[in-house]
Amino acid sequence: MHLYLYNMKKMRLFFLIALVLALLIPAASWAQDYARPELLIETDELAKLLEHSTTNVSLIDVEDKKTYQRAHIPGAVNLFYRFLADLESRKKNGYPATTEDAEKLLGEAGVDKDTLVVIYDSGKGPSASAVWFALDFFGHKNVKVLNGGFRKWVKESRLVTQDVPEVEKKKFVANPDPKKVVTLKWMIKKLPKKKALLVDTRSFKEFIGENIISGASRGGHIPGALNLQWQKLANDMETFKSAKQIKKTLAKRGINEDTKVVTYCQIGMGRSTFLILAMKLIGYDNVVEYTGSWEEWSADPRLPIEK
């Protein structure tokens, strides 16, 4: 009897400790039941990586130069995401940027085939997903996006700096994968045959033509597109929602694991790539980017639009 009571006390103590740990340990990406949690890195994980890592790591701030100069995470280099969103390249073959530009820009950021790349943005938008998409498109898979970005980092009172680090330039060799994108020619030929579900990730006002932002020639959306604003996949701090929440949001739009999705936004790099990253997180791989996006479509008066 004494042994039984002793074992019961040990079990209660074990469960009490487990409960306390569960309450104290912050929810990391692995706790969200993502199929690919390795695509994200949490702020505490990044802090430890920067403090202890001796590996080949490139931390990239993807905001514009002025924002970067105001303050950034120590050790971060600056690569504005729009530099990897070249319109002429997107119109020509769907590539986010030319192979030459990608190799130059990423090499100057200290990226080669052995580099672990960690990307972050201001935390107010999906810019980091654009550079993640470009790296993935050009064949670099060892990439993580900081979940919540710079805003979450600052809110947690972590170190920031204005110091610009010296970067050892590397040789980045691009290996583009055209299967990850579609062109205007594909859109005109395939969409009328309902070969895919077209998803517009812009704001609802842009979608219905009430708001025409710089770079768009007309207001409205591509015929047949459904509107899924990228914010529907994010929490208040612009961290990604859990896998369960993302799947539920997508299911309401008729999207499941087998649905062929083509997504677009204003420039094909940012809001729509946020959707692609969210889908990849939960294991939904049947998604491609129309990189020309509304910037290209709206500029051709011969192409139909809806409002």
Q: How far is CA 21 from CA 7, 8, 25, 44, 156, in A?
A: 21, 20, 6, 16, 20
Q: Are 43 and 141 found together in one domain?
A: yes
Domain count, the chain: 2
Confidence of residue 55 (pLDDT cuts 50, 70, 90): confident
Q: Are 33 and 132 found together in one domain?
A: yes
Q: Are 34 and 126 found together in one domain?
A: yes
Residue 143: in which H helix or E strand, if any?
strand 143-146
- The reported pLDDT for the residue numbered 19 is 35
Is 113 a residue whose pLDDT tops 60? yes
For 9, the token pair is: 């006390």
pLDDT per position as a tens digit, 228-262: 999 999 998 889 999 999 999 999 999 999 999 99
For 248, the token pair is: 């539920």
Q: Are 276 and 259 found together in one domain?
A: yes
Range of the domain at 200: 179-297
Whole-model pTM? 0.89
Q: Are 190 and 158 found together in one domain?
A: no
> Which residue is associated with the tokens 């896998």?
243
Q: Are 189 and 241 found together in one domain?
A: yes
pLDDT per position as a tens digit, 263-306: 999 999 999 999 999 999 999 999 999 999 999 999 999 999 99
Is 41 a residue whose pLDDT tops 80? yes
In a domain, residue 241? The reply is yes
Q: Are 33 and 160 found together in one domain?
A: yes
Q: Are 115 and 33 found together in one domain?
A: yes
Cβ–Cβ < 8 Å for 62, 105: no
Range with lowest mean pLDDT among 21-25, 122-126, 295-299: 21-25
3-state class percentages of the chain: helix first, strand second, coil last, to nearest 5: 45, 15, 45
